[in-house]
Structure 1
Amino acid sequence: MKKKLIRVTTIPNSLGKLLTGQLHYMSNYYDVIGVSSGGSALEDVRKQEGVPVMAVELTRKITPIKDVKSVYGLYKIFKKEKPFIVHSHTPKAGTAAMLAAKLAGVPHRLHTIAGLPLLEATGTKRTILNLVEKITYACATKIYPNSFGLQDIIIKEKFTRKDKLKVIGKGSSNGIDTNHFNPDLYTAADNLKLRTELGFAPEDIVFTFVGRLVADKGINELILAFKKLAAIKKNVKLLLVGTFETELDPLNKASLDYIYNNDTVLGIGWQEDVRPYFAISDALTFPSYREGFPNVVMQAGAMKLYSIVTDINGCNEIIQEGVNGTIIPVKDAEALYAKMLQFYDHKEELYNPNTCRAIMVKNYERSYIWEQLHQEYISLEK
């Protein structure tokens, strides 16, 4: 008889997209249940992963009354289902699930850390978030930072004991499917057609960002750097793939004005499949302030793109300086501009596209991450 495994995230998109295929894989060995906020997206997870799902309303913001209800809702599920393992992802789900699992007497309470939003907070807000983080870790039996840099930060901040921490494999929460993220799936004709549809000329150098278009992803610095580059190089384009979050983390007015009023920048919103846009791009620009282990950088590498990233955990583990990309200081628009200019002037000399892909295949193939996590689960049974 299989042991029961419950996976919990704040929103269904995290279960279905960030952890694509993982619940289905684990269902070969465990009775898996997915838990997240409800709606049609959660039903999509059920169909995609082939596992039962349950809805508990969870919010990304600090909402004390709703949060207490969330903990109680999770507690009831855990008491009824009696799982061997509860494994949570994302900050709010982690706090609620670990507390509820401890109250319910779940023997193995696991939480994956894929980033620490609190690192950008200050004052009272930072104090509160630090306390919440410590409560989450105290309730968990094991914490899995998804990068070695993130593990170092957790130890430095004294959120928990070192022996509670472990990085699965070489990092990442789910790895990537390198057969799926493969530029050979797209012909030169495919790429030319899409470039033409987007208004890009064949000779344009296209810098691309994929992710949320928010301040802490470094978009304000990216716009400043690109604006300076576009002033001296006429055949450059900036492709922005993602959505704005005007309530949580808006861009400044100057950035928004430039995005909306300049034909060298193209925002195409959220895309279900980002591969065609990587295929027509020349380089990834990813100047984020904080990450866990960014899928975008792995995906771009598998698609043979050179990546310009900031010196933060995750990014500085995936990118090897001068091999598959380059690393710049955080919040440094001038450094970003200099590296974009260098790429423009010396693209052919900077890197080998095949090497970019080979590093991703070797270190971050999805099946490798899944098996490493499965082995971790097995170790709990001993």
Structure 2
Amino acid sequence: MAGLRVSVLLKTNSGGLWTIPQIEELRRRDHHVTVVIPPGPGRLRTELETRGIPVVDAPFDFRFRPTVSTLRGLWQLRRLIRQLRPDVLNYHLYASALAARLAALRLPLRRVHVVCGPLYLESWLIRPIERLMRRMDDVTICCTQHISELYGQLGCPAERRPVVQFGIDVNYFTPPHLTSGGMETPDSRKGAREKARAEIGVDPASFIVVMVGYVYPPKRLAHSGRGIKGHDTLLAAWSSFHAKHPRSHLVLVGEGFTAAGKAYRQELIDRFDVGQDPSITWLGWQPDLRPYLTAADVGVVPSLSEGSNGVVREALAMGVPSIVSDAGGLPEAVDASVGWIFPRGDVGALISALDTAYRDFESGQLTARSGRAREHAVRTFDRTQTAAVMADIIERAGGVRSGSR
């Protein structure tokens, strides 16, 4: 039996790296996968081309403006889809979903929508539109139970909104003192942490809190006036927490996403006097997060809106207990044995969680949480397992019975 023809559509040539394990698994099963992304260089394009995965430039710019060029771009995208003749059209990110649904209207193919985050479902304007348009998807794969429930509220039947959490490379995200296969000891963990802290330039004896995340500008239609990653919540909490616990240091890793995100990042730096605060280090984008996670005592993800969030999974795999907000799928990644959950946007609750983590740090109990965090990640977030489940669903959508190949 010939393999399926699968076309994967994304609105980005830089993000969307979570698609690669899924694509590789489909190719391993002898399916023919082509990825359609915007023209130009980017991390995603580089990774795809390095792996020999066919890439085609999207003729549509994924900007939905009431102009003739939008209609022309959608028509050109439709022509491209017809040329590719996919059995399954698989799209990620909401702008990609809108474009795929409109461009492939009435074409003889199956449509699989992968939902990575719930932000658009939290918009009063978009929700009623999505209630109608989601009917064009044959399957809506949700990366968290939270997203699946939101689609259930829009009338999507349970069998058409399966949950598949995005996985991570648990071998890559391994604490350095475990990479040689040796057993963890207090001395080996301490040595790795001190080395990482020396490289970053932070006090080896301090309580180190790390947040990793792009800075997104505030959205008009959801959480108006605030960036969705919750940087302002953490920075507001930090001044009070650090005043009580001066032997602490906050490391932020992340650049502004787009020019508007860069401007909002600078606004936060100015508003909270980050440049004048020696207890805060704010770095830009980093190609390798492992040194920062190795240096951390605890990670923080204070998002106002969130999908599955790969960073919290990577932190747990690195043995970093995490404090997360109750936004989206974050509570599905962290339980009481490996971290703490606080109400999104609640500065006082975040301070309380930081206080609790600090007490565990002083008493030595944080080390036990670290070991449990690593075990939890390996058991739950291994990307080879989640990619296989994703491939099973795409095969079923395309008419291939799982296990028949």
The alignment's TM-score, normalised by the length of structure 2, stands at 0.84
The superposition leaves residues 14-70 of structure 1 with CA deviations (integer Å, 9 ceiling, x where unpaired) of: 34x222333223112211001111112254133233211011155576534454344
Extract unaligned runs of 5+ from structure 1.
none
Structure 2: distance between partners of 1:40 and 1:229? 42
How many residues of Structure 1 are paired with residues of Structure 2 in the alignment? 369
2:162 is the counterpart of 1:148: no
Task: Name 1:47's counterpart in structure 2.
Answer: 49
Q: Is the contact between residue 60 and residue 92 of structure 1 (CA under 8 Å) also seen in structure 2?
A: yes
Could you say what the CA RMSD is over the residues aligned between the two structures, in angstroms? 2.3
Q: Which residue identity does 1:366 align to in structure 2?
A: R
What is the deviation of 1:291? 1.1
Q: Is the contact between residue 98 and residue 110 of structure 1 (CA under 8 Å) also seen in structure 2?
A: no
Task: Name 1:104's counterpart in structure 2.
Answer: 107
Q: Which residue identity does 1:309 align to in structure 2?
A: V
Structure 2: distance between partners of 1:199 and 1:105? 58
Task: Name 1:247's counterpart in structure 2.
Answer: 260
What is the deviation of 1:340? 0.6
Q: Is the contact between residue 118 and residue 328 of structure 2 (CA under 8 Å) also seen in structure 1?
A: no
Give matches, 1:258-277, under 5 Å: 258-277=273-292
Q: Which residue identity does 2:302 align to in structure 1?
A: P
Q: Is the contact between residue 63 and residue 70 of structure 2 (CA under 8 Å) also seen in structure 1?
A: no
Give matches, 1:16-55, under 5 Å: 17-28=17-28, 29-41=30-42, 43-55=45-57
Taking a change above 3 Å as real, the CA distance of residues 96 and 254 of structure 1, as seen in their structure-2 partners, is closer
* Pairing partner for 2:380 from 356, 363, 368: 363
2:372 is the counterpart of 1:349: no
Give matches, 1:273-312, under 5 Å: 273-312=288-327
User: Mean alpha-carbon deviation: is it higher for 360-369 or for 237-246?
Assistant: 237-246
Q: Is the contact between residue 88 and residue 98 of structure 1 (CA under 8 Å) also seen in structure 2?
A: no
Structure 2: distance between partners of 1:196 and 1:60? 44
Taking a change above 3 Å as real, the CA distance of residues 36 and 317 of structure 1, as seen in their structure-2 partners, is same
2:366 is the counterpart of 1:327: no
Structure 2: distance between partners of 1:316 and 1:51? 34
Taking a change above 3 Å as real, the CA distance of residues 364 and 375 of structure 1, as seen in their structure-2 partners, is same
SS in 2 for 1:143: strand
Structure 2: distance between partners of 1:61 and 1:310? 31
Structure 1: distance between partners of 2:196 and 2:117? 33
What is the deviation of 1:131? 4.2
Give matches, 1:72-111, under 5 Å: 72-106=75-109, 108-111=110-113
Q: Which residue identity does 2:71 align to in structure 1?
A: V
What is the deviation of 1:191? 4.1
The alignment's TM-score, normalised by the length of structure 1, stands at 0.89
The superposition leaves residues 284-303 of structure 1 with CA deviations (integer Å, 9 ceiling, x where unpaired) of: 11010111111111111111
Structure 2: distance between partners of 1:69 and 1:365? 42
Q: Which residue identity does 1:30 align to in structure 2?
A: H
Q: Is the contact between residue 99 and residue 139 of structure 1 (CA under 8 Å) also seen in structure 2?
A: no
Taking a change above 3 Å as real, the CA distance of residues 333 and 281 of structure 1, as seen in their structure-2 partners, is same
Structure 1: distance between partners of 2:390 and 2:122? 30
Q: Is the contact between residue 60 and residue 74 of structure 2 (CA under 8 Å) also seen in structure 1?
A: no
Q: Which residue identity does 2:309 align to in structure 1?
A: P
Q: Which residue identity does 1:250 align to in structure 2?
A: Y
What is the deviation of 1:110? 0.4
Task: Name 1:160's counterpart in structure 2.
Answer: 156
Extract unaligned runs of 5+ from structure 2.
181-187, 217-226, 401-405
Structure 2: distance between partners of 1:8 and 1:323? 38
2:225 is the counterpart of 1:224: no
Give matches, 1:149-188, under 5 Å: 149-156=146-153, 158=154, 160-168=156-164, 171-172=165-166, 175-183=167-175, 184-185=178-179
Structure 2: distance between partners of 1:43 and 1:234? 44
